[in-house]
Structure 1
C-alpha cells in the first residue's frame, strides 16, 4: 500500500512541476514532432541542387575539390562520395548550424548550389525546440524544463500507481461517466503512465545538447576517458611531408573498396601535414569506422571501430539518434507517436486542472503539516539536483519562497 501522506506530498510536487513545465512541454512536443519531418520537407526543395543530369564524362574528384574551394568561406574539411551517377558531389566546411555544403556538378564543371542549415525553415523549428529562439538563455530554460520533466514523470508514476484493490485494471481505468474533470484527469494519468518510459528515453537523448548538464556530461567523459578516442577525428595525427600528395581520386577508389555501410566521406587535409580520412555515417552505430592516412605515402596511420568509442559516448550517441528517430521507420513513427501523445497528455492535464481549480486560487494540493520528507526522499532530491543543476537551483528557490510564505503566515500576514 502507498503511504498516503507521501502520496499527497509527491502529488504537490507533481503539480508544481507541471505548472512550471506545461506550456513549454506542449511547445517542445509540437516542435519536436514537426522537426521529425525535416528530411521530407527539405528533400524536394534541395533536389535541384543535389541531383544533376548525367551527360558526358565526369571531371575528377581533385578537379571538383579545386572548384569547390573558392565557393566556401573556409577550405572544405570533407567530401561525401556520391552513390549514384546523377548525384552532385558535396564538399563541406564549418560545423553544426554554421556548416555550409557546396554541391559540384561533375559533368558541367560548375557548382550547382549551396546548402546551409541556418537558412532552412526547419532550422527555425529546431532553434525554437532547443532554445525558444532566445539563444543561450533559451537553452537554459529548455534544460530547466527538461529537468523538471524527469520529476514530473517520477512523481506521476508514484501518484498514479493503483492500489491493491484496483489491481491490474487500475493501469487502464478511464472513467467516462464521472464528469469532464475526472475524464481528463484519467486520460492524463493513464496515457502519461504508459508513455513514461519512452519519455524518459527521449529526454535522455535531448539532455546532451543542453548547456549545463551537457557540459558536465562532456567533462565526465573526458575525466573517465569514455568519450571518443583522441585520434577519432585525426587530432594529433600528421603526415610526413615527402614528395607529391596522392590524389583524392585514389582515396575515393580506396574508400569504395572498403564497402562501408551508410554515407561514406573523405576527410580532406587542411595543411601540408594534414591527413586523409575515410569514415562512414550510419545509424547502425556499430558499423561506424574511421581510418586516417598519410596524404603523401597513403600509409594507414590510425584505424578505429565503434568498439573503440567509450561507453558514455556510445550511450549518448544512441539516445541522441533515438531522440531524432534515426533508427529507421519504426523509430521515426515511435517518436512522432511520443510527440503527439505528450502534447495530448499535457493538454488533458491542463483541462483537468482548470476544471478543478477554484477562482482566484492556484489550487496547489494540500500536504498534512505533520508530514516530513524522509532522508531517502531528501537524498533522491539532492542527487537529482546534482545531476540536473538547473533543477537543483530551482528547488532551492521554490523552497525559499515556501519558507518565506510560511513565515509570513505565522506572523499573521497574508500574501
Structure 2
C-alpha cells in the first residue's frame, strides 16, 4: 500500500494569499515613493536649480553674516537649522518656522541674497519620504508600515515554498514562458520575478525595518551601544538624538538615534575650549560651530541644529552617503566645548552593517550604479505586486475573496508552524496579527460547523 506524502501547498498558498492581500497595497506605495526618493539628487537639480546653484565667488560670508541677511529679509523667522554650502557652486540653507510653516530658505553664501523658499514638509521629496515612512499619519502609519514589512517577509518565505521546483524544468521557474497567454503568463511573471528578486526584497524589507518606530527603536536599543566613558562628565538630558529626525527629513544617523542629547550649562564658558569666546548673547557664534566642524574634519554636507532652549546644544550632524564619513557632534552653546563626538570608528559591527545597508537601500553608497540596482528592485516589486493582483482577479469566485481552501485532513505542519512562530517572535506586530487571524479563523470554523449541524 502506497502512503501518500501530505501536501502543504494549499496551506502555504493560504498564508501567501493573506500576506499578499495586506502587503501588496503597501508594496505598490513603497516602490513608487522609493523611486521618487531614490533619485532625489537628480530631481532636486531639475526642479530647484535656482535655489540650489550659485555662481562661485571669491570669499564666502560667515555663517553669522548669512544668518543676519536672512533675518533682515524674514525678521519673524525662527531659525532651527543651518546647512553650510556643500560645494563652491551650491547655496547655503536655513530651516526656519515662519507663520506656522516649516520652510527651507536658500541663501547665496557669497552675496547673502535670499534665493527663495521651499515648504520643508510640502514638497515632492518630503511628501514621498513621509509617505514611505509613516503614510503621513504619524505613529499609526509607522506601525502599519512596520506590519506590512513584517508580513512582506512572510510573503517572500511562503512565495519561495510555492515557487520551489517540483519536477518542472527551467521554464516557468527560472524564466517566464513568454509564449504563454492569460493567467499562465502572469503566473510565470509573478513566480520568476519573485524568485530572482526575493533576496533583494528581503534586504529592502529588513533594512527598511530598522527605521520603524517600534521594531527599529528596540533593535537599535539592543545593539547600539557606545563606551560609557564617552558620556563621562557630560551632562545629558532624557531626550534622545532621534528627536532631531522627522518623517520628512533625517538629521542624525540611525546608529546614534538612541543616544542622549547633552545639555549646555550656563557656567560652561569657564571650562570651554581654549580660544572660544561666547557671543554677546551668551551663545557662541554660529561661525564658531562651523569652524569647529572644519577643525575636527567633518566632511561637507553636514547640518548644524541650533539649540532649542537655554539648555540645548548645537548639533553638527552628517548622515553621509558613505557612512564611514558619518559624524555627530554636540557642542555646549555657551562655551563651544565638544560634549560628544561620535564617528564611524565608534560604531559597533551591527551599527556599521545597518548603516551600510541603509545607504544601499537609499541608493547612495555606490552612486548611479546603486540607484539603478535599487530601481530594478522597485520595478520587480511593482511587477510582482501587479501580477499577483491580476492573478487573483482572474481566478477569484464571483462576489468572494477567493481565499485558498484550508484542508483539515493534513497533519500538523511542524516546519511551517515553526517558521511562522519564529517570524512572530522576531517581528512582534506580525505575531500579534497572526494570533488575530488564527482567532478569526477559529471563530469562522465554529460558525461553519454550527451551520451544518441540524437544528
TM-score (norm 1): 0.81
- 1:7 is matched with 9
- Pick one of 197, 203, 206 that aligns with 2:205: 203
- Partners of 2:20 and 2:155 within 8 A in 1: yes
- 2:21 is matched with 19
- Pick one of 216, 219, 223 that aligns with 1:217: 219
**Gaps in structure 1 of 5+ consecutive residues:** none
Structure 1 window deviating more from structure 2 (13-22 vs 44-53): it is: 44-53
Residue 362 of structure 1 aligns to a residue whose secondary structure is coil
- 2:62 is matched with 60
- 1:403 is matched with 442
Give the number of aligned pairs. Answer: 408
- Partners of 2:305 and 2:314 within 8 A in 1: yes
Deviation at 1:332, TM superposition (A): 1.0
- 2:262 is matched with 235
Deviation at 1:36, TM superposition (A): 2.5
How far apart in 1 are the matches of 2:184 and 2:305? 59
Deviation at 1:405, TM superposition (A): 1.9
- 1:158 is matched with 161
Deviation at 1:105, TM superposition (A): 2.9
How far apart in 1 are the matches of 2:412 and 2:318? 52
Residue 342 of structure 2 aligns to a residue whose secondary structure is strand
Q: Give runs of aligned pairs for residues 119-130 of structure 1, distance below 5 A.
A: 119-130=122-133
How far apart in 1 are the matches of 2:315 and 2:25? 46
- Partners of 1:231 and 1:237 within 8 A in 2: no
Distance 1:235 1:373, change over 3 A: farther
* Deviations, residues 226-266 of structure 1 (Å, cap 9, x unaligned): 97469978625768314833765566456446665452455
**Gaps in structure 2 of 5+ consecutive residues:** 229-253, 271-275, 279-283
Deviation at 1:63, TM superposition (A): 2.0
Residue 7 of structure 2 aligns to a residue whose secondary structure is helix
* Deviations, residues 135-176 of structure 1 (Å, cap 9, x unaligned): 43333333322221110100111111113x336666414334
- 1:353 is matched with 392
- 2:364 is matched with 326
* Deviations, residues 41-63 of structure 1 (Å, cap 9, x unaligned): 33243322333445686433332
* Deviations, residues 91-123 of structure 1 (Å, cap 9, x unaligned): 3458xxx86443333444443333343121333
Distance 1:297 1:18, change over 3 A: closer
Distance 1:159 1:225, change over 3 A: farther
Residue 269 of structure 2 aligns to a residue whose secondary structure is coil
TM-score (norm 2): 0.75
How far apart in 2 are the matches of 1:110 and 1:65? 11
- 2:277 is matched with 244
- Partners of 1:131 and 1:142 within 8 A in 2: yes
How far apart in 1 are the matches of 2:55 and 2:353? 42
How far apart in 1 are the matches of 2:302 and 2:135? 34
How far apart in 2 are the matches of 1:152 and 1:264? 39
- 2:87 is matched with 83
- Partners of 1:278 and 1:292 within 8 A in 2: yes
Distance 1:175 1:136, change over 3 A: same
- 1:185 is matched with 187
